[in-house]
Amino acid sequence: MKSHRLMLAAFACCALAGSVVVAPSEAQAARSCASFVVAGPDWRYTVKATVEVGNATCQTARGLFTDLYLGRGTTSGEGPSRVTLVRGWRCGTGAGGAACFRGTSIDAATQRITAEVNNAPPRARQPVQRRCANVIVRNPDGSVYARSRNGVFAVRTTCPVARRVAFAVLNADDGDNPLPRPEGFRCRLVGQSSQLGVLCSKGRQSVRWTFGRA
């Protein structure tokens, strides 16, 4: 909360001259809201809001700080005197935090909400890998010509597409080199001996499997 107090002090001192910041009464029950994310094209903030004064809801808090950081308010002043009017609330931002209030001054606010803001870059998300059913290619007499083992794995594509790709490659003649390019995927052999398999790629999509015993 230290960053909040420093930010609120600057906000009150410069943007609302003549007011004095006071901490909420010990008897007043501040209400914390669940963290939420506000993101733009190349930035991402994790916001943790606290309703310090008044009966504002967490939904109101989320809406205020979302609009504030997405630039949907009306801003006046520069530097420490910068104040943004959002949904009838007066808001300010500082290092690591923000605050919005209603009332004649921030210390005499009838409603006040503060927020801790973390702008650390988001962790890279790992693509979801789907495990699809095995593919079996049979000879005219019903015997197995070729098959996958332990499933066909698809990343950023669907199981039907992945299985069609696997079928086309498994159905190719043993001497085919290079491997077929089903559905626009480029395929190559990977692994060794008992773990020999195929990896097919198209852009960020991929399909892979290991060979099973015929």
Residues 94-142 have pLDDT tens digits of 878 899 999 888 888 899 999 999 876 656 667 889 999 999 999 999 9
What pLDDT sits at residue 39?
86
What pLDDT sits at residue 176?
63
Higher model confidence: residue 39 or residue 126? Answer: 39
With 90 as the cut, is the pLDDT of residue 60 above it? Answer: yes
Q: E strands within the chain?
A: 31-32, 36-39, 44-53, 74-76, 83-86, 89-94, 97-102, 111-118, 129-132, 136-138, 144-155, 186-190, 197-202, 205-211
Spatial neighbors of 27 by CB under 8 A, at least 6 apart, are none
What pLDDT sits at residue 8?
52
Task: Give 42: exposed, middle or buried? Use CB within 10 Å, 0-12, 13-18, 19+.
Answer: exposed
**Domain ranges within the chain, ordered by starting residue:** 2-118, 129-211
List, for residues 177-203, the tens digit of each pLDDT value.
Answer: 788 899 999 999 998 777 889 999 999
With 50 as the cut, is the pLDDT of residue 19 above it? Answer: no
Residue 59, helix vs strand vs coil: helix
Higher model confidence: residue 115 or residue 2? Answer: 115
With 60 as the cut, is the pLDDT of residue 10 above it? Answer: no
What pLDDT sits at residue 191?
86
With 60 as the cut, is the pLDDT of residue 27 above it? Answer: no
Query: Taking residues 23-44, what's their average pLDDT?
Result: 76
What pLDDT sits at residue 40?
82
Contact status, residue 195 vs residue 139, Cβ threshold 8 Å: no
List, for residues 140-164, the tens digit of each pLDDT value.
Answer: 999 999 999 999 999 999 999 999 9
Residue 189, helix vs strand vs coil: strand
